[in-house]
Structure 1
Amino acid sequence: MSNGHDQSEGHAAARDAGHQHGHSHTSGANQRRIGIAALLTGGFMFAEAAGGIMTGSLALIADAAHMMIDAVSLGFAWWAFRVAGGEPTERRTFGNRRLPVLVAFANAIAILMITAFIVIEAAERFADPVTVLAGPMMVVAVLGLVVNIVAFLVLMGGQRESLNVRGALIHVAGDMLGSLGAITAAAVILWTGWMPIDPILSVFVALLILRAGLKLARESGHILLEGAPVGLEPRSIRDALMGTVEGIAAVRHVHVWALDENRPLVTLNVELAPGADGFATITAVKARLKSAFGVNHATVEVDPPGAMTEPAGLPRD
């Protein structure tokens, strides 16, 4: 009997080790891809900034500012992946697993700041038009588009479920849109001489970036604020347990949050039905949480029948 138990534990350990190895390999690939994108973005940023100043193009200057923030943000994202695999410590019992989410939130804030900068600068350009050298602007914008396409393709090969990879993709996609806007503005100025097209397209690009930035801020902020993952609301968990797990009289004090976008955590109390076995019930609850919701880390507290009656006037969790 003990031999079968030992073999079961061995198989479980092997599965866990395989899962950890796969996650480590994926994180390493994401880290390398973000590092390459950071080098490409940071390397071209200086050329685009110089080109924007020389040509007087707001579209190039805005895109260079975006690329500067992108290079810094991608660098932090690379660093976050590097330290996220650190072992838990006495002070950080989950290690640095949430650091990539924090960096993703910072990336979203950077995106919103860039959007505000572009809109303000565009308003100033409308009030005080600037002559733009469309020929050199076109050359710089085309080169920037090529660099951004390469960086985007590199990131597309990563794990897009990762908030950090998605944040990096948003940054580079914004740069691509900025380059396309600059190319369009340069073409219009070359053919018609109409200068207002430069700030107009800059605002258009800013609005496109804004939506993606708000979405990233909302999702990463929800995790940082210990919000329940989608589909893991307490009511859903109560319904799933009460309908399938024998020996449960009630489920209360359900708290659900996520360590990052892939690691949901659950704590809850169950009141045993008369005659139910506590250990068997805990095992069944954890198995149900894993099969129905993919929860691998749950803390289940068991109380005897009638022990979970709430004092009058106190709200339930």
Structure 2
Amino acid sequence: MTEHAHSHGHSHSHAHGVSPDADRRWLRAALILLTAYMAVEVVIGVVAQSLALISDAAHMLTDAVSIVLALIAMRLAARPARGGFTYGLKRAEILSAQANGITLLLLSVWLAYEAVERLISPPKVTGGLVLITALAGIVVNLICTWLLSKANRSSLNVEGAYQHILTDLFGFVATAVAGLVVLTTGFERADAIASLVVVALMLRAGTGLVRESGRIFMEAAPAGIDPDALGDHLAAADEVVEVHDLHIWLITSGQPALSAHILVAPGGDCHKVRRSLQELLSGEYGITHATLQVDHVGEQGAPDELLTLSPRPGPGPEQRAGHCEDAHGPVHRPGPHRH
């Protein structure tokens, strides 16, 4: 959540409307409210024999855990980079988001099993108690949703906690409907059906969080950025002959980083090219943390043949000889034959 300016031959800063301290305050308020209500709900769920209420309470427990993880991760992420952790502990937030997603998935499996058992042989459910408790839960969740919406949701971590509570809100609506149905018609299975609705919501939110955090751990490019198109865009810049070894990843949510090797035509102004490319990355792609190695063709083993050979897909070994032999990914060159 805390974001520091980095210097890579250029300076940049990250602006957020919400400070980490404010984030922590909103999260702590939601945590206190959730924990207090959850304790009450577990007792009522047991008394009323309502799985829908118990499943909501179990989900509320994951809400509370997700907020605790978010608070711990924020504190870790705020620590300055030192020692072997050159990015600091910013990715603690993504670990937290992944833990949130996994707990949602595990809990949904257990609740699905319980709900199916109750569909087969429904117990006696006190509908009125379920309805009143669920309606109170809706109010509590609306307040918590509002509290978390005030925090900085560009963090996958805070977004994870927000998704937990939003899922819970829909779950309480389903439980309130189930309580009403049991109360008015005596249809006991409505409680188990409401539990399955909560399970479906948990699966959806959990899968999304695990997928997003997994992408960051696998160093995938940020969603919405096509590395090939970006490479072609860089290669089309003035005086650029080739772009290769292009890597785009996320340090943590909202902090994209990029590195690339740029070859410039002989006589071209390396510094000017680097500045213009960094302005392009910052302005059009929101990438302000970019490390560009810029060389002239013919320098440091860069092959002169690049100027005489027409670009073609899958450059042969004679084009790559002595130059970045272990380069990763496609090579981007200006002209119609982009790849």
TM-score (norm: length of structure 1): 0.87
Supply the AA of the counterpart residue of 2:320: E
SS in 2 for 1:268: strand
Aligned-pair distance for 1:208? 2.5
Deviations 1:10-64 (A, max 9, x none): xx97xx5xx56x5495322222212211111111111111111111001011011
* Runs of 5+ consecutive residues of structure 2 not aligned to the other structure: 1-6, 304-318, 330-339
Who is 2:164 aligned against? 171
Q: 1:266 to 1:314 in 2, by over 3 A?
A: closer
2:269 counterpart of 1:277: yes
Residues 81-160 of structure 1 mapped to structure 2, 5 A cutoff: 81-160=74-153
Corresponding residue of 1:230: 223
More displaced 10-residue stretch of structure 1: 54-63 or 307-316: 307-316
Contact conserved, 1:37 with 1:154, CA < 8 A, in 2?
yes
Of Structure 1 and Structure 2, the greater helix share is in: 1
Output the CA distance in 1 between the equivalents of 2:276 and 2:141: 51
- Within 5 Å, give how 1:177-216 maps onto structure 2: 177-216=170-209
Corresponding residue of 1:6 = none
RMSD: 2.3
Aligned pair partner of 1:76 in 62, 69, 91? 69
Output the CA distance in 2 between the equivalents of 1:302 and 1:87: 29
**Does the CA contact (< 8 Å) of 1:145 and 1:180 recur in 2?**
yes
The reply on whether 1:251 has 2:234 as its aligned counterpart is: no
Question: Are residues 1:292 and 2:292 paired?
Answer: no
The secondary structure found in structure 1 opposite 2:19 is helix
Instruction: Say how many residue pairs are matched.
Output: 301
Q: Deviations over 1:198-248 (max 9, x none)?
A: 10111022212322222222122211211001343321222221223x221
Structure 2 counterparts to residues 1-40 of structure 1, below 5 A: 19=13, 22-23=15-16, 25-40=18-33
Equivalent residue number for residue 310 of structure 1: 320
2 CA distance for matches of 1:314 and 1:190? Answer: 69
Q: Does 1:41 align with 2:51?
A: no
1:105 deviation in Å? 1.5
Structure 2 partner of 1:221: 214
Q: Identity percentage over the alignment? A: 34
Matched residue type, 2:173: L
Q: Could you tell me how far 1:316 is from its partner in structure 2?
A: 4.8
Tell me how far apart the structure 2 counterparts of residues 203 and 130 of structure 1 sit (CA, whole Å): 16
Superposed CA offset, 1:145-198 (max 9, x none): 221111111112222322122211211112212222221111111111111111
SS, match of residue 91 in structure 1 = coil
- Cα 1:23–1:315 change in 2 (3 A) is closer
**Do the aligned residues in 2 keep the contact of 1:233 with 1:256 (CA within 8 Å)?**
no
For 1:90 and 1:314, how far apart are their aligned partners in 2?
28
CA contact (8 A) 1:310 1:316 kept: no
In structure 1, the residue matched to 2:307 is none
User: Using a 3 Å threshold, how does the CA distance of structure 1 residues 215 and 190 change in structure 2: closer, same or farther?
Assistant: same
Aligned mates of 1:176, 1:127 — CA distance in 2: 27
Q: Which residue of 2 aligns with 1:5?
A: none
State the distance in 2 between where 1:150 and 1:219 align: 26
Deviations 1:132-156 (A, max 9, x none): 1222222222222221111111112
| Structure 1: stretches of 5+ with no match in the other structure | 1-8
- CA distance in 2 between partners of 1:71 and 1:97 (Å): 21
Bigger drift between 109-118 and 277-286 goes to 277-286
Looking at structure 1, the residues matched to 91 and 67 of structure 2 have their Cα atoms a distance apart, in angstroms, of 17
Q: Distance in 2 between matches of 1:297 and 1:172?
A: 33
Offset at residue 281 of structure 1 (A) = 2.5
Aligned CA distance change for structure 1 residues 217 and 273 (closer, same or farther; 3 Å): same
Number of the residue aligned with 1:261: 253
Q: Distance in 2 between matches of 1:215 and 1:316?
A: 29
The amino acid across from 2:171 in the alignment is: G
Amino acid aligned to 2:106: M
